[in-house]
Amino acid sequence: MDKLTPVTVHAGFKDMDKLEAIYSEAFPPAERKLTISQIVESTVFKQDVRAYYKDRDVVGFSVSTLLGEFNYFLFLAVSKDVRSCGYGGIILDSIIKECGDKPLIFSIEDPSEQCDNSEQRKRRESFYLRHGCVYMGMKNSSPEGGPTFCLMSSIALEDYTPIKETLESMRGKMAEILAEYAGSANPQN
Determine the pLDDT at residue 187: 45
pLDDT per position as a tens digit, 21-38: 999 998 878 778 788 888
Determine the pLDDT at residue 188: 46
Average pLDDT over residues 93-108: 90
pLDDT per position as a tens digit, 109-151: 888 888 787 888 898 899 999 999 999 988 877 666 677 888 8
Structure confidence at residue 186 as a pLDDT band (50, 70, 90): very low
Structure confidence at residue 74 as a pLDDT band (50, 70, 90): confident
Q: In terms of DSSP H, where are the helices of the chain?
A: 16-26, 36-41, 87-99, 118-130, 161-180
Average pLDDT over residues 39-58: 86
Determine the pLDDT at residue 154: 92
DSSP letter (8 states) at residue 170: H
**In the Cβ-directed half-sphere of 52, how many Cα atoms lie within 13 Å?**
23
Average pLDDT over residues 167-184: 62
Strand partners for 60: 52, 78
The better pLDDT of the pair 103, 144 is held by 103
Distance of CA 60 to the CA centre of its chain: 11
b/e per residue, 18-46, with b = 16+ CB within 10 A? bbbebbbebeeeebbebbbbbbbebeebe
Determine the pLDDT at residue 179: 59
Collect all residues with Cβ–Cβ distance below 8 Å to 89 and sequence separation of at least 6: 127, 130, 131
Contact by Cβ (8 Å): 124, 112:
no
Return d(Cα 105, Cα 70) in angstroms, integer: 7
Average pLDDT over residues 64-68: 84
Residue 13 has pLDDT above 90, yes or no: yes
Paired sense of beta strands 70-78 and 57-67, if any:
antiparallel
Structure confidence at residue 184 as a pLDDT band (50, 70, 90): very low
The three-point CA angle 119-31-165 to 5° equals: 105
Determine the pLDDT at residue 180: 56
Determine the pLDDT at residue 145: 67
Determine the pLDDT at residue 31: 76
Determine the pLDDT at residue 69: 84
Query: For the chain, what is the mean pLDDT?
Result: 84
pTM over the 0.75 mark: yes
